[in-house]
Chain A
Amino acid sequence: MTSSRKSLKYKKRIIVKIGTSSLSYQNGRLNFQRIEKFAYILSTLRRKGIQVTLVSSGAIGVGAGRLGMSEKPDDLAKKQALAAIGQAELIKIYQKFFSDHNQIVAQVLLTKDVINNPVRHRNARSTLERLLEMEIIPIINENDTISTYEIEFGDNDTLSAIVAKLIQADLLIMLSDIDGLYPADPRLTDHVEIIHTVRKITPELEKLANGAGTSFSTGGMKTKLAAAKICNQENIDVVITNGSVPENIFGIMEGKEIGTHFLSNKINLIKNY
């Protein structure tokens, strides 16, 4: 176990960001079995004394499923309408699975002005602080119905970083559809090994994630790297891992070398001594 990984064993306030791909099957329908696992894992961490906040996407997909639509619509108003239907469904599903573990959850929907409106910033932070104190797991999403979807936050990767910063979390775990960051697209290239540790997000790395000329960016690496950068500057560690294996979250919290670990600047400073 590397010393940087070992430090993750002592994280007390974590954010877990789950994207649509981790919640659903390829056909877009919800993967209840997996959601059940997430509920079990996050409830267990909560019981161990770790403060857990969940940032979850999936409202639009769930809304489309509710209406029996096979494809997500392109136009904004439709997306916002589906989000309004789907968010209600999604939070109901989370409530159900978390209640199996006696874990109370809360729903917090944010808009971008949580960053630049000082009153809203303070209110959102104090609400979240209070919920964590009460041993509740807040489930956060963008308030899609009034914010201009995919324009305000860009995506929930960014939202998760903003939330991590807002409540001064010490670790953000972002679940992706690939195992972590690779020097080349593992689906196109043989024998590429995952990058387990990133000490500094360099321009070269960012270029890699932008996937110039490859479909490498499909894992959402670009926005994930941007989110990691925000967090690292705020002394928040970030791990990107594969959401199809929910148990990875346990492994990461045990200090195992799973996924890609982006070290916060604070650790780097200590290292440099």
Chain B
Amino acid sequence: MVDKQIRIVVRIEIATLCDKNGRLDRKKMDRLAMVLSSLHNSGKEILVVSSGAIALGSEKLMLETQPESLIEMQATAAIGQAELIRFYQNFFEEYNQIVAQVLLTSDITEYKDRENNARNTFNTLLEMNIIPIINENDPVSTTDIELDDNYPLALKVARIAQADIMIIKLDTNGKYLIIPKGTGKIIVAEDEHRLFEQIDEFVKVPDAKDSGEDFPVSLADISL
């Protein structure tokens, strides 16, 4: 059986890449870049949805606490997104992997042409062997910035890009949640080794994909 091209959306919360003091942990970032570059090299298409613009902006401005008002958050995000994408570039560069930045507003699915443009951009980037790093375009966002949960954005990206699998980084170590589309199954991978194994298992199962069911609307419904 010829493996079909598997498309994976990886959801990263910046907290899973930070040390105890809430600062970006370079070792963890490096580890993530290695794992995802390797997964990509194994023939999978990878899209990353990552939060962190406000956290890194606060760090850059040496703020004691993260800003609370919407305007402050948006301004901080404009600074921090530039930092965030720089980190992704630098760490993936070590593994010879080119990344791209795609910023979406949460109302993207209300505009068909924008959604199509985003889909075309994703398809083209993936064809070019590039990993898109996606975040919300906070500075112009019309909705409240989702500080704690970027899963809704990851879900939107998974739908726009017609992904087969979502991967959720669960903790600061190598624990991941694997959600294959349309199987109703959710798999916990305790470490990176298991992550690779489980994804390969999924790929081998015939008709594992496209059974019509979508990804879970919220992670809150999932009991681990």
State the A residues within 8 Å of B (CB). Answer: 63, 66-67, 76-78, 80-81, 84-85, 87-89, 91-92, 95, 104-111, 114, 117, 119-120, 123-124, 126-127, 129-131, 134, 136, 138-139, 143, 145-148
Residue in B72, B75, B88, B140 whose Cβ sees the most chain A Cβ within 10 Å: B140
CB distance from A15 to the nearest CB of B (A): 16
* B61 engages A104 (CB within 8 Å): yes
State the B residues within 8 Å of A (CB). Answer: 60-61, 70-72, 74-75, 78-79, 81-83, 85-86, 88-89, 98-105, 108, 113-114, 117-118, 120-121, 123-125, 128, 130, 132-133, 137, 139-142
* B78 engages A108 (CB within 8 Å): yes
With contacts A88-B89, A123-B141, A124-B140 taken as known, whether A146 is within 8 angstroms of B75 at the C-beta atoms is: no
Cβ–Cβ < 8 Å partners of A63 in chain B: 100
With contacts A88-B100, A130-B71 taken as known, whether A146 is within 8 angstroms of B121 at the C-beta atoms is: yes
* B117 engages A147 (CB within 8 Å): yes
Pick the contact of B137 from A66, A85, A109 — CB < 8 Å?
A: A109
Closest to A76 in B: B120
Closest to A88 in B: B101
* A146 engages B140 (CB within 8 Å): no
Cβ–Cβ < 8 Å partners of B104 in chain A: 146
Q: Which 6 A-B pairs have the closest CB atoms?
A: A84-B100, A106-B78, A81-B124, A130-B75, A88-B101, A127-B74
A78 and B100 alpha carbons, distance in the complex (Å): 13
CB distance from B47 to the nearest CB of A (A): 11
With contacts A145-B117, A146-B114 taken as known, whether A85 is within 8 angstroms of B130 at the C-beta atoms is: yes
A127 and B118 alpha carbons, distance in the complex (Å): 24
Cβ–Cβ < 8 Å partners of A89 in chain B: 89
Instruction: Say whether chain B's binding surface is mostly helix, strand, loop, or mixed.
Output: helix
A139 and B78 alpha carbons, distance in the complex (Å): 9
CB distance from B50 to the nearest CB of A (A): 12
With contacts A109-B137, A130-B71, A147-B114 taken as known, whether A77 is within 8 angstroms of B121 at the C-beta atoms is: yes
* B125 engages A84 (CB within 8 Å): yes
Residue contacts A-B, CB under 8 angstroms, 7 given: A80-B120, A81-B100, A84-B100, A88-B88, A92-B86, A139-B82, A143-B137
A120 and B137 alpha carbons, distance in the complex (Å): 11
Closest to A93 in B: B86
* B139 engages A127 (CB within 8 Å): yes
* A123 engages B74 (CB within 8 Å): yes
Cβ–Cβ < 8 Å partners of A88 in chain B: 85-86, 88-89, 99-101, 133
Cβ–Cβ < 8 Å partners of A108 in chain B: 78, 139-140
* B120 engages A77 (CB within 8 Å): yes
With contacts A85-B98, A92-B86, A108-B78 taken as known, whether A145 is within 8 angstroms of B118 at the C-beta atoms is: yes
* B121 engages A145 (CB within 8 Å): yes
A109 and B139 alpha carbons, distance in the complex (Å): 8
Closest to B103 in A: A109
With contacts A114-B140, A119-B142 taken as known, whether A84 is within 8 angstroms of B78 at the C-beta atoms is: no
Known: A130-B75, A131-B78, A131-B79. 15 other contacts (CB 8 A): A81-B100, A84-B121, A85-B101, A104-B60, A105-B82, A109-B103, A120-B142, A123-B74, A123-B142, A126-B71, A127-B75, A127-B139, A127-B140, A145-B102, A146-B103
A104 and B82 alpha carbons, distance in the complex (Å): 10
* B85 engages A130 (CB within 8 Å): no
Closest to A91 in B: B82
A95 and B78 alpha carbons, distance in the complex (Å): 12
* A95 engages B72 (CB within 8 Å): no
A109 and B83 alpha carbons, distance in the complex (Å): 15
* B128 engages A67 (CB within 8 Å): yes
* A146 engages B78 (CB within 8 Å): no
CB distance from B29 to the nearest CB of A (A): 15
Cβ–Cβ < 8 Å partners of B71 in chain A: 126-127, 129-130
A126 and B124 alpha carbons, distance in the complex (Å): 34
* B72 engages A130 (CB within 8 Å): yes
